[in-house]
Each structure stands twice: as C-alpha cells, then as structure tokens.
Chain A
Amino acid sequence: MKRILSSVTDGKGFDIGLVLLPLAFLFVLSGLPLVYNVVMSFQEVDMFSLGSFVRPFVGFKNYVDLFSQPETAPILLNTALFVTASIAGQFIIGFGLALFFWMNFPGASWLRGLFLVSWVMPGLVVGAIWNWILSGDFGVLNFFLREMGVIAGNIFWRSDPNYSLWAVIIANIWLGTSFNMILLSVGLSAIPRDLYEAAELDGATALQRFFTITLPMMRSTIGAIIALGLIFTLQQFDLFAGITSGGPNNSSNVTQYWAWDLSFRQYDFAKGATISAIMIVFVMLASVVYVRSTRHEVRG
C-alpha cells in the first residue's frame, strides 16, 4: 500500500498519472466526438433523431450514396488543388520572407512582427475584406491589374468558375504566409552561425550554403510546417463562407465546406459525418508526418 502511494507521489505512478490525465482529457474532448462522428456516418440520421444515440444502422450506404453523387469527384479534386496550392504558396513566400528578415537589417524584427497581423485576423473578417478586393466590377485587385496593364477586362474572381477556387487560394496564401514565416524564422535562427562561417572559408557559394546547410538543418521544421499547413488548410472554412460560398456551381467547393453545407444547410447529418470521416484519414496522415518530424526535438 505504502509502496503504491509513494510511487504515485514520487515514481512510476506519478509518471503514469501525468500521462493518464491528458490522455483522459484528449479522449473525452477529441476521441469521443471522433468516434461519434464515425458511428454517425454508418447511421441514418435526421434532425429529429439527432438527440438520440440509437439510430438505424445502414452500413456503407452513406459512403456509396456520397460517391455516386456527380459533384463528389470535382469537390475532392478541388480540395486537393486547394491544399497543394495553398501550402506551396504559403511555404515558398513564407520561406522567402523568413530568409529576407534573417539578414537582420535594422527594423527587421519589427517588420516581421507586423506581418503577423494577417495571422491574428479572424477568418471571417479576412473573407469579407478579400470579398471586396476580389469583387468583379469595383474590386481593388481588378483595378490594380488593369492599371498595370496585365488585364484588359475585369476578371470576375468570385463568379467565374475558372477563377473562383483561385480567389480563395489567393486569400488563404495571404492568411497563412506569416505563420509559415514565423515558424521558419525560428528554425533558421536555430542553425549555428559557425557552420556558415566554416563553409564560407571553404569557398561555398550562397546557393551551395542554402542547399547543403540551411535546407538539411531545417528538415524537421519544414516537415512540421507542411504537416501543420495541411491541417490548417483542411480546416479552412471561413474564407469559403466569406468569399464564394463554394460557388458558382461547386467550382470552389471543398470537402470541409461541403460537410458543413450538407449538415447544417440541407440537414443531411449522416452525409456530413461521412465526409468528415473521410477527412479524418487525411488529417491522421498529416499528424503522423508532424509527429515524426518533431520527434527528435523531444529527445534532444
């Protein structure tokens, strides 16, 4: 008895307790809803059976129905395009900015801080502002492009199915770039300066230093950022609600917005849950990448 007690206050029991507490917390607040969501995707759910747990079990019917809908394939493709283009844009611009501010000119840290403003802004506000910027007739972006001579006529960013998804991607890149920049800046500042000094003495060019020192040293940071980016882009909802509402004709619809639309606009909760269940798989994959790339930080 005394041994158990002492192990709890000072020993293995204490460690187990420390692990169990957050685990229980995670299970209740994340695990249960996830399981509930998956269960719901196998049931027939409507608004009046929403309050009860016992509902007719329909097997894979929701999944079969979902994939037989004509809009499913385009929406999945849109999601893939949205995620890839957003992450690529955010990462490349973010990395460029991080390297720029890393040069440490006067006022660099101030400016870097200011960039974070975009990250602090609520998504719906960002959506509303980009809605104006991208508006067809009187949009700021069209005016700018026209004055620069890039385009002759107005581009209807939100209403032309060829541009609508890109309209949201542009806004999302703007929103996520600063977050990428900050994390990459942290990664950059962790690289020991003497490595560069040694390389410079040996005559390595700036490009060689970037590819042989910076990139390899940043590998885990980059992995973590891309995994986080994947998660953040997959949950990006506000911009769609603010700019295109998934339209026109689903040309800018993505799974996360579609799941909401099915559940809370058409009250088809089972289908909404089915889409979310499919998304869980992708987010899990991203989480594995994230955990793997940050693992050595814990060991170190």
Chain B
Amino acid sequence: MDIRRRAMLGMIALASISLPAFSAQAEDVTITVWSLDRDIQPAPNLIKEFNKLNTGIKVEYRQIQFDDVVSEAMRAYSTGQAPDIIAVDNPEHALFSSRGAFLDLTDMVAKSSVVKPENYFPGPLASVTWDGKLYGIPKATNTIALFYNKDMFKAKGLDPDKPPQSWDELVEAARKLTDPAANVYGLAFSAKANEEGTFQFLPWAQMAGGGYDNINAEGAVKALDIWKTIIDEKLASPDSLTRGQWDSTGTFNSGNAAMAISGPWELDRMIQEAKFDWGVALLPVPKIGSERSSAMGDFNWAVFSSTEHPEEAFKVLEFFVSQDDRMFKDFGQLPARSDIAIPPTGEPLKDAALQVFLEQLKYAKPRGPHPEWPKISKAIQDAIQAALTGQMSSKEALDQAAEKIKAVLG
C-alpha cells in the first residue's frame, strides 16, 4: 500500500514535470487576435497566410463588431481574458495606453527590421504614441476630402477642373450648384452628434488655427459660422445634422448633392452608383495658402500588456506590417505609410482619387491622443449641433465646449 502510493506520487510528480515540456515541443504558442475585419478584409486573410508559414506560432482570430470593440476589450482586460493582439480605433488608443493596458513596443520596434517609425505618416504614428513611447502600430489610415460632380459644375458654368480651394469659394460654388427645383443641394456632409460630426468638423477648426484643446479659437468660430451659413441657406440638407457620412454621400451618388465631404471608403460604391463624371479635391482651406489639415481615421494594432508571449505577438505584427504594400490592391485600405507606392488599380477615377487622398493624408491629424477622448468629442458635437440648430451662436457654443474640454483636460 505504502509503496504503491509512493509510486503513484512519483508518477504524478514526473508527469507534471514532463507534460508541459512535451506539450511545448508538440504544440505551438497560440496568439489570439481580435479585430473588426470581416472575411474580405485584411486581418483574417493575413492570419490564414501566417498560419500556413508554420513558424511555431499559431494565430487564432476573433471578429468583433465596431460598436463593441472598446467595451469587449475593457471587459476582457479587467477579467484577465484579454487577447494578445487587438485592433482599436485610433482615438480610443490613448485610453488604453495611458492606463498601461497596452504593451510598450518602443524597444521591440527599435530592434525590428520590418517596423520603422519613420515610414509612417505622422498623424497615425501620433495616435499610437503616448508619453513619447510607442504603444501600437498603425493598421491602416483614411481621411476626408471633397468629392464633386463635374457634370453639374459644367451645367452651372463652373470650371470642372477648378474645384473650390477656399471656404468662400466652397460656399460660392454651393450657392451656384444648389437647385431646389431639381432637388439638388450644393454640398453633402455630416454634422451628426456622434464621432462622425467631430471627425468632419475638427479639420476645419485645425486649418484655421484651432484644435480640440483650443476649440473656441477665432478661426474655429469662423469655421462653424461657415457651416451655419451652409445649413441656414439650405446649401446642404438640414438632415446633415442627423445623417452619417455614408448616407450623406449616398445623396451625392444619386445626383441630389453636387459636392460631398467624405473618405476613400466611398470610392468603390461611388464607381458603381454614380452615373456622372466626378473628381476629388483637397479640403478647402480658410484662405488660399492657409495651412492644410484633415481628419485621420482607421484602426491601430496593439498588444495587450497582459500577454504571455510578447515576442511572438510582435512577430505576428511584423508579418502584418510586411504585407502593407498589398493593402489597397487586395483589401481597398490605405496603409498608414509614406514609403509605399500604391500601384494603379486600372480604374482611372479611383486612381485619380487615390492621389488626392494620399496628398490629403500628409495633413491628417489624429483626434487627441487623449484618454478621455469620447468626452472631448461629445463637447464638440454638442457645440456643432447647438450652433447649427440656432440655439446658440457659434461663439457661445464653442466657448461652452472649450469650458467642458478644459474640465476634461484638467
């Protein structure tokens, strides 16, 4: 009995030592990746290819919905169930990095031969930076510019090769193009009370010398006044206040708006739906020669600080980065990098638009970075809506927003 028990104990002891050793040899390190990419988008496809390389790292993928990214990530992190790698929207990045939820990648990036910070556009890079350290790698990027209907320009006596350059020219063109009898508005944009409103307004404030930390600057007030003129004179549909960018640009595609402010995600649909000649121009600036600015969208990759395999996780990210040159061709997304020349797609309208967006990207600025970005953004949205509905003057509304933002910035 005694001997048998001892033998048993020995066996168990042996097994418990050797089992993990065996399994480490037999099984790969598993890295989990969460992102919102669907099956035709980069993440799941790149992961499939990576797994075929048999590097000793096995990647598991889980798709999460856009609205759930932050709440799912939060819940997972606070209960210790976080994935190794996640893709988050760029204005949310600072929220995690400032709390130490994301891993500091600065040293690994410094040693890497694939990921080089100098290859990235400054805007996306700033969004993954917190306190001078890198907490992620930009996954892709996008920005907004001005789409315009060349046929309508010709019909109203405007030069289709000279889209409006300044705010005044934009309003002037919108006045000429607006034709209530034909159900045509001059411009389509979004002033919706969600992140989209902030996304569209902030570039206007930035090129006039404002910013989220200086939202009541004189130029920003001027920008909001211009928006108000556009809404008050019905140069854009009053429903711009409750309509997102996708729906607003839809009215451009159907010929009910002569110009639209939106991003490269519209291109594929526009090529299919728009039955007219169109072009893309840089966002108009306050005065010809003023500083340019634009919004910066899309997601970043990050590694959770709770990961057990930081080295392997970084290797997976390096693989993603090494495939950046196929992003536009295969998945229609713009890599956040200035060193990659995107090959022509063979679709002239799309290629011309791409050049404008690439130019515009140089001026794209991140929203924040600030850990309490949603509150800052909400203050800006409220100001836009209060001014455009005529409940406050642009100055009062932005002063109130500045007050709220000051409380957040501390």
Q: A interface vs B, CB < 8 Å?
A: 47-52, 70-71, 135-138, 156, 158-161, 164, 244-251, 264-268
Contacts and interface: CB of A to CB of B under 8 A. Distances in A.
30 contacts: A47-B70, A47-B74, A47-B95, A48-B77, A49-B78, A50-B78, A51-B75, A52-B78, A70-B400, A135-B239, A137-B251, A138-B183, A156-B238, A158-B242, A159-B239, A159-B241, A247-B193, A248-B242, A248-B385, A248-B388, A248-B389, A249-B382, A249-B385, A249-B386, A249-B391, A250-B382, A250-B385, A267-B74, A267-B95, A267-B374
Contacts of B75: 50-51
Nearest to B74: A47
Contacts of A158: 239, 241-242
Contacts of A70: 400
A128 to B, nearest CB: 12
B74 A247 contact: no
Nearest to B242: A158
A245 B71 contact: no
Contact of A248 (B70, B77, B95, B193): B193
B396 to A, nearest CB: 12
B250 to A, nearest CB: 11
B240 interface: yes
B237 A136 contact: yes
Nearest to A253: B193
Interface in B175-221: 183, 192-194
A266 B374 contact: yes
A250 to B, nearest CB: 7
B409 to A, nearest CB: 15
Contacts of A48: 74, 77-78, 99, 101
Contact of A245 (B77, B95, B194, B391): B194
Interface string B72-97: 00110111000000000000000100
Contacts, number: 83
B337 to A, nearest CB: 31
B242 A247 contact: yes
Given A136-B239, A164-B242, A247-B385, 5 more contacts: A49-B78, A137-B237, A249-B391, A250-B382, A266-B374
A262 B163 CA distance: 41
A48 B70 CA distance: 11
B378 A265 contact: yes
A161 B389 contact: yes
Interface of B: 70-71, 74-75, 77-79, 95, 99, 101, 183, 192-194, 237-242, 251, 256, 374-375, 378, 382, 385-386, 388-389, 391, 400
A245 B374 CA distance: 16
B79 A247 contact: no
B182 to A, nearest CB: 12
Given A48-B74, A48-B101, A161 B242 contact: no
Contacts of B400: 70
Q: In terms of DSSP, what is the predominant structure of the interface of chain A?
A: loop
Contacts of B385: 247-250
Nearest to A246: B193
Contacts of B374: 265-267
A51 B71 CA distance: 12
A86 to B, nearest CB: 20
A156 B239 contact: yes
Contacts of A251: 389
Nearest to B68: A264
A135 B183 CA distance: 14
Nearest to B99: A48
A137 B95 contact: no
A267 B239 contact: no
A137 B378 contact: no
Contacts of A135: 239
A138 B375 CA distance: 34
A127 to B, nearest CB: 12
Given A249-B193, A249-B386, A244 B242 contact: yes
Contact of B391 (A156, A161, A267): A161
B232 to A, nearest CB: 13
* Interface-central residue, B388, B389, B391, by most chain A CB under 10 Å: B389
Contacts of A265: 194, 374, 378
A268 B192 contact: no
B261 to A, nearest CB: 17
A71 B192 CA distance: 18
A138 B385 CA distance: 22
Contacts of B77: 48
Nearest to A250: B382
B68 to A, nearest CB: 9
A245 B193 contact: yes
Contacts of B193: 245-249
Contact of B242 (A51, A138, A159, A250): A159
B321 to A, nearest CB: 28
Contacts of A248: 193, 241-242, 385, 388-389
Contacts of A71: 382
Nearest to B185: A137
Interface pairs A-B: 9 shortest CB-CB: A51-B78, A249-B385, A247-B193, A156-B238, A159-B241, A47-B74, A248-B241, A158-B242, A248-B385
Contacts of A267: 70, 74, 95, 374
A247 B241 contact: yes
Contact of A247 (B70, B192, B238, B251): B192
A279 B257 CA distance: 43
Contacts of B78: 47-52
A47 B94 CA distance: 13
Given A48-B74, A246-B193, A137 B388 contact: no
